[in-house]
């Protein structure tokens, strides 16, 4: 059964798309949750943990952590949110077979506005902060994923219902329902 993987820069709408998929009965695994857990365990920031994990254990480190739980899940549709590199994508393809990649894009202005209202401690304080974070994400290899994407959602000016319709359309195309 195909697995949907969701990626995009911070604030692009990955969590919202994951929420729509969860409403549709998908089991969603969020790669950022694994990074946040490791950051808490190590007593460092999530950005530091993301970098440290990849430096210490390789570019597939977070994918491997995620796959440990995905492998335990039986019966049902799966989505994985938060891929950052081609290597993570390849790790999922090798382990899971049929993987479909959804890349979500939105402008810096839109993404900053969303993140500012989210209230996570690691969210950017200003647009420059977000640009620095974007650079780090892109350095992990996020930009390389756009060429591998099966679907690209431009999440700019969409209502939640319009975004939900786009996600449902992808699910219909992938799963035939």
Structure tokens at 135: 């650079």
pTM of the model: 0.91
- Domain boundaries in the chain? 3-175
pLDDT in tens, the chain (177 residues): 899 999 999 999 999 999 999 999 999 999 999 999 999 999 998 889 988 998 898 989 999 999 999 999 988 999 999 999 999 999 999 999 999 999 999 999 999 999 888 777 777 888 998 898 888 888 878 889 999 999 999 999 999 999 999 999 999 999 997
Q: What is the biggest distance separating any 2 CA atoms in the chain, rounded to whole angstroms?
A: 45
Q: Which architecture, in CATH terms, is 3-175?
A: 3-Layer(aba) Sandwich (3.40)
- Tell me the C-alpha to C-alpha distance, in Å, between residue 14 and each of 86, 126, 176: 17, 20, 23
* pLDDT value of position 177: 78
Strand pairing class (151-154; 27-30): unpaired
């Amino acid at each position: 059964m195909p697995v949907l993987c969701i990626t995009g820069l911070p604030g692009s709408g990955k969590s919202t798309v994951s929420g729509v998929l969860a409403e549709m009965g998908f089991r969603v695994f969020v790669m950022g949750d694994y990074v946040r857990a490791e950051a808490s365990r190590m007593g460092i920031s999530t950005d530091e943990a993301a970098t440290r994990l990849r430096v210490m254990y390789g570019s597939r480190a977070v994918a491997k952590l995620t796959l440990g739980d995905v492998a335990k899940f039986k019966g049902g549709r799966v989505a994985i949110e938060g891929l950052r590199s081609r290597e993570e994508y390849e790790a999922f393809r090798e382990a899971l077979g049929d993987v479909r990649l959804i890349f979500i894009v939105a402008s810096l202005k839109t993404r900053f506005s969303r993140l500012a209202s989210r209230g996570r401690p690691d969210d950017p304080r200003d647009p420059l902060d977000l640009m620095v974070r974007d650079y780090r994400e892109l350095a992990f290899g996020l930009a390389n994923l756009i060429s591998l994407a099966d679907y690209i959602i431009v999440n700019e000016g969409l209502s939640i219902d319009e975004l939900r319709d786009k996600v449902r359309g992808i699910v219909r195309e992938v799963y035939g329902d």
